[in-house]
Chains A and B, each alone.
Chain A
Amino acid sequence: ETGVTQTPRHLVMGMTNKKSLKCEQHLGHNAMYWYKQSAKKPLELMFVYNFKEQTENNSVPSRFSPECPNSSHLFLHLHTLQPEDSALYLCASSQVLGQGRAEEKLFFGSGTQLSVL
């Protein structure tokens, strides 16, 4: 167990549904990330939070809405998704060393396999 847990593991939703993905890290890290993994683009960064502040939004459509209430929890709220949004959504955490320093290694969760019908 890497200390990053994601729920649910699998999710099937219709295009008009609203759902949320949850991620929790037990590693004391100060940065959390959402990645999308699909056959088309193996590991695509979506959002980055450092110290609960969003520092990166990688041109993600507004139908994906992240929330980071504290440094241990990260959510991804989903609404009116499209079938092409079907993918594995991976959460990760790391300990960022400070301004100007590279991030440390990423610890990934097991992911949520999302299917949009």
Chain B
Amino acid sequence: GENVEQHPSTLSVQEGDSAVIKCTYSDSASNYFPWYKQELGKRPQLIIDIRSNVGEKKDQRIAVTLNKTAKHFSLHITETQPEDSAVYFCAATDAGKSTFGDGTTLTVKP
């Protein structure tokens, strides 16, 4: 089955700096890669996603890149703000089944 590894497990940045979270996956059949943000005590919510036929996608301060050959994808957050503090999960999806990484706790210090 699919195996997703996510790094780092915790990340602390100063407000205004950039944050990068990386995930690797094992199953080359995975073709959809979403990222979810979960604030403390709240439900996970999708923030950006990318399909296997695309190399990069951007939405304002958030971007995701995908390297199919190397089987890794990354989340990039620029100009971080305190409200970006949360747990971020990556996932790799194949045939209707998502396998999640273990999450990254991002703390943005004002």
Residue ranges of A at the interface with B (Cβ–Cβ < 8 Å)? 2, 31, 41-45, 48, 50, 55-56, 90, 96, 100, 102-103, 105-111
Complex Cα distance, B95 from A48, in Å, reads 12
**Known pairs A56-B97, A103-B93. 6 more at Cβ < 8 A?**
A2-B43, A31-B96, A102-B51, A103-B96, A108-B45, A109-B43
Residue ranges of B at the interface with A (Cβ–Cβ < 8 Å)? 31-32, 34, 36, 42-46, 49, 51, 87, 89, 91, 93-103
Q: Return chain A residues, CB-CB under 8 Å to B43.
A: 2, 90, 108-111
Q: Are A100 and B95 in contact (CB under 8 A)?
A: yes
Q: Are A42 and B97 in contact (CB under 8 A)?
A: no
Q: Nearest 7 CB-CB pairs, A to B?
A: A102-B32, A43-B100, A108-B43, A105-B46, A42-B103, A103-B96, A102-B31
User: Knowing A102-B51, A103-B32 touch, does A96 contact B45 (C-beta < 8 A)?
Assistant: no
Q: Are A45 and B99 in contact (CB under 8 A)?
A: yes
Shortest Cβ distance from B46 into A: residue: A105
Shortest Cβ gap from A38 to chain B (Å)? 11
Q: Are A2 and B45 in contact (CB under 8 A)?
A: yes
Shortest Cβ gap from A107 to chain B (Å)? 8
A-B contact list, 11 entries, CB within 8 Å: A2-B43, A2-B45, A31-B96, A45-B100, A96-B96, A102-B95, A103-B98, A105-B49, A106-B36, A106-B44, A108-B36
Shortest Cβ distance from A58 into B: residue: B97
Shortest Cβ distance from A100 into B: residue: B95
Determine which residue in A42, A102, A105, A107 has the highest number of CB atoms from chain B within 10 A of its CB, and name it. A102
Complex Cα distance, B4 from A45, in Å, reads 13
Q: Return chain A residues, CB-CB under 8 Å to B96.
A: 31, 48, 50, 55-56, 96, 102-103
